[in-house]
Amino acid sequence: MNLACTFDDNYLPHAATMLTTIRNVNPGHWFHVSLIHSGRDLDEAAWLYKYVSSIIDRVSLIQLDASAFNKLPLSGHLSAVAYARLVLAGMLPAEFDRALYLDPDIAVVGD
C-alpha cells in the first residue's frame, strides 16, 4: 500500500509514532511511504528516514520547497505543509497510481 504523510519539524516525532502504529497493527502488509518534509532541520528528517526505513518496506523522503507557497496566506495552523496536500499527486513517486494520505498526528489502530 502506498502512503503519504506531510510534516514539518514540529510534527516529525508524531510522524514517527504514526508510522510505528501502522507497522505494529499491520505486521504482514507491504508499505511504501512518501515522507514530505518542509522543515529546516535536515538532520532530523534524515533521522526519521533512517528510523522509518527500519520498520517500513520502502520509504521516499521528499523535501518540500515551501517557497512555492509564499504568495498564499500562512498562519499558525495554515502552513506550506497544509497547502502541499492540495498538490500531493504531483509530488509523489511516479510509480504511485494512488496513495492514502495520513496526517502525522494520528494513531492507526487497525488495517
Q: Give me the sheet containing 100-101, strands edge to edge.
A: 58-63, 32-37, 2-7, 100-101
The phi and psi torsions of 92 (rounded to 5 degrees) equal -80, 160
CA atoms within 13 A on the CB side of 61: 19
How confident is the model over 25-78, as pLDDT tens digits? 999 999 999 999 987 778 888 999 999 999 999 999 999 888 888 888 888 778
> H/E element holding 6?
strand 2-7
Residue range 72-94, pLDDT digits in tens: 888 877 888 888 888 899 999 99
Total-model pTM: 0.89
Question: Of 2, 12, 3, whose CA–CA distance to 104 is shortest?
Answer: 12
How deeply is 97 buried, as exposed, middle or buried, from its count of CB atoms within 10 A (0-12, 13-18, 19+)? exposed
Count of all residues that appear for the chain in the document: 111
Count Cβ atoms within 10 A of the Cβ of residue 3 and give its class: 0-12 exposed, 13-18 middle, 19 or more buried.
buried
